[in-house]
Structure 1
């Protein structure tokens, strides 16, 4: 601490102290800034040769070092890419520079590219983007650990192109990853909740999913993201706790999924503990559609996804990376005997 004194000698010492303080501050700031690096995770000028094309490209992480991803900068527009997913993998399904990784690709006769899933083992979502979402910077001291001391040995970028490109036209959409080797004290992860099922024509349909936290972990939620295709109207996610047999539903996030599908700050940062549940609902409106709509990978299908980004202060994130329910007409929150006091109206409306 510096104290004001009017004597020349003390004034000189004071100024010298300020200079030292400023030098140290600038040095620290420069060190932190230069410590942050940017890696281009981009498609290698690929040519989407068919409609509803899912393509993957990988990078191998240096095996004897740890890296912490602390931010994501999209390099894509929604008129080109329908959505992007960044997977962490413990093993690759292909060692090609890029490959066809659509969910339906195994049954298609097309053979221009090798067909494989994004990961052979240890698949987990690290980041997701759609609808011109903005860059994401993680909170201070929070990072996704990849490399030596983690199961994530590879990163795989998947992009979904809805329309094929004209002959000769290529694309290098993707992400810029902000990373550092400076250890972060809080490790980040993403938990994906997804519902399957079938949506009848000309109806409002709820697609529900629930996930119980069985691991002895304390999760600190800080961001959420919603994803549907064209029928989605509202996606909501909750932390559900139980006291004396009654469920209490704490809203984590709620959004119109047709707005930019970026990660937004959660509504409630209260830690999620062992025994708590996380529940999500997608409200789908098929009033103008004359056919049934199944959950699937194409733009003519639907999806119901709620992504919760969280960090842990001790130990490692959850071993599970996703929870799925079969969805309508076979599963709803209301026919789950382990849920009660369901906020039917609140969960299905933006207001």
Structure 2
């Protein structure tokens, strides 16, 4: 296989990169803690000097993680700029989408005919981290980590980069956008997870549209959201997410987070200290404003749209994270919150900052 393992790549690149510990992050509104240097190491998951030829190209590259050792990811340091990368995603996989070193991985997007095409993961896809709009580094709270390798279901990590522009590569310059992973082999008592919420659908010409989604938690687990992230393209103005509970025969909405998606698309601290458990509903809305004279559909390119709300959370490592990784609706004009009889009376400020 062309895929290098977590250990192999570290050994191969050790003469060119060094480990570092202190980095900027924004979580819970202030700087968090940095663990002792001997506990935290750095792995550079970067594009292997690729040459994207057209804008809107999606490239993926994977690493195989040592299945004999349990690792815990505790921080992420991006190595990219929004002038080049529209966004980056890290996927945890049971199996990668391809055994190539690099492949096309954007469905319905521009593709390099010299490379094979495949999804980021062939099996067990889950989002670990996402970046866009020059978002800064992220450090997880103390004791929280994404369990990878060893006994976990995540045996590979795939980096996906969506190239917004290829202007800087016109002279043959190659790209190494990616993420520096901060990790430890010390077991973390709290397991990190991500629930990705999103929609399909379309935005009509010259209109204001609400793209909404909602899912019930059906697993007997308690999760603790600590950060959220919003993602749209050009039309998004506000993205908001809520916990919805039934209290005294009424729906009680509690804000998880709300943000302008045109700001740096980082993971922000949640608005309220809350938990999600069996029977609760998570609901998200993207407020889109179009001054275009054409219909804009959900799609992979910058001229299309996306509506995503990410919830990053921790759960007791003894029970683990949710098996449910995604919550998607068909979006407008086929789905809105009021399609569900249990999502009555949403907050009037759901589309206001």
Establish whether TM, by shorter chain, passes 0.5: yes
Question: Is the partner of 2:350 in helix, strand or coil?
Answer: helix
Residue in 1 aligned with 2:147? 145
Q: CA deviation at 1:242?
A: 0.5
The 8 Å contact of residues 83 and 165 in structure 2, kept in 1 or not, is answered as: no
Determine which of 265, 282, 288 is the counterpart of 1:278.
282
The 8 Å contact of residues 198 and 328 in structure 2, kept in 1 or not, is answered as: yes
User: Counting helix residues as a fraction of each chain, which structure ranks higher?
Assistant: 1
The 8 Å contact of residues 87 and 131 in structure 2, kept in 1 or not, is answered as: yes
Q: CA deviation at 1:244?
A: 2.6
Determine which of 297, 308, 333 is the counterpart of 2:311.
308
Q: CA deviation at 1:335?
A: 2.2
TM-score for both structures, normalised by structure 1: 0.88
Residue in 2 aligned with 1:128? 130
Relative to structure 1, the CA distance from residue 39 to residue 340 in structure 2 (aligned partners, 3 Å threshold; closer, same or farther) is same
Range with greater deviation from structure 2 (116-125 or 163-172) = 163-172
Question: Is the partner of 2:334 in helix, strand or coil?
Answer: coil
Determine which of 49, 55, 75 is the counterpart of 2:59.
55
The answer to whether residue 292 in structure 2 is matched with residue 289 in structure 1 is: yes
The 8 Å contact of residues 90 and 129 in structure 2, kept in 1 or not, is answered as: yes
Q: CA deviation at 1:109?
A: 7.9
Residue in 2 aligned with 1:12? none
Q: CA deviation at 1:341?
A: 2.0
The answer to whether residue 253 in structure 2 is matched with residue 266 in structure 1 is: no
Determine which of 90, 112, 115 is the counterpart of 2:114.
112
Residue in 1 aligned with 2:249? 245
The 8 Å contact of residues 246 and 341 in structure 1, kept in 2 or not, is answered as: no
**Highest CA radius of gyration, 1 or 2?**
1
Residue in 1 aligned with 2:18? none
Q: CA deviation at 1:110?
A: 5.2
Q: How does 1:160-309 map to 2 (within 5 A)?
A: 160-164=162-166, 165-286=169-290, 288-309=291-312
Measured in 2, the distance between the counterparts of 1:181 and 1:60 equals 16
What RMSD, in angstroms, separates the aligned Cα atoms of the two structures? 1.5
Question: Is the partner of 2:349 in helix, strand or coil?
Answer: helix
Deviations 1:102-135 (A, max 9, x none): 1125xx7852111111000000000000000010
Measured in 2, the distance between the counterparts of 1:109 and 1:297 equals 12
The 8 Å contact of residues 58 and 111 in structure 2, kept in 1 or not, is answered as: no
Question: Is the partner of 2:38 in helix, strand or coil?
Answer: helix
TM-score for both structures, normalised by structure 2: 0.88
Q: CA deviation at 1:32?
A: 2.9
Q: CA deviation at 1:178?
A: 0.3
Residue in 2 aligned with 1:324? 328
- Which stretches of structure 1, 4 residues or more, deviate above 4 A after TM superposition? none
Relative to structure 1, the CA distance from residue 231 to residue 31 in structure 2 (aligned partners, 3 Å threshold; closer, same or farther) is closer
Deviations 1:283-303 (A, max 9, x none): 0000x2000000000001000
Unaligned runs of 5+ in 2: 1-32
User: Aligned residue pairs: how many?
Assistant: 318
Unaligned runs of 5+ in 1: 1-28
